[in-house]
Amino acid sequence: MIDAGSMINMDVVSYLTVQEDRATFVGLNLVGLKREKNETC
């Protein structure tokens, strides 16, 4: 997930959450991980 107003100059890894001016890593997208786990089973 990418916070509104973030400046992205590189790819963002799947299931990471980034925010601020230079897209700083702030956590994992746990909802996305849970959904992916349920879809692959």
Q: What are the pLDDT digits (tens) for 1-41?
A: 666 777 777 777 788 888 777 777 888 888 888 888 777 65
- Judge whether 4 lies within some domain: yes
Q: What is the pLDDT of residue 41?
A: 55
In a domain, 10, yes or no: yes
Domain count, the chain: 1
pLDDT number for residue 25: 80
Task: Indicate whether 41 belongs to any domain.
Answer: no
CA distances from 16 to 12, 33 (A): 7, 10
Q: Domain span at residue 28?
A: 1-35
Q: Cα separations (Å) of 1 from 7, 24, 29, 38, 41?
A: 13, 12, 7, 19, 23
Any idea what DSSP says for residue 6?
P
d(CA 31, CA 41): 16
Helix, strand, or coil (residue 16): strand
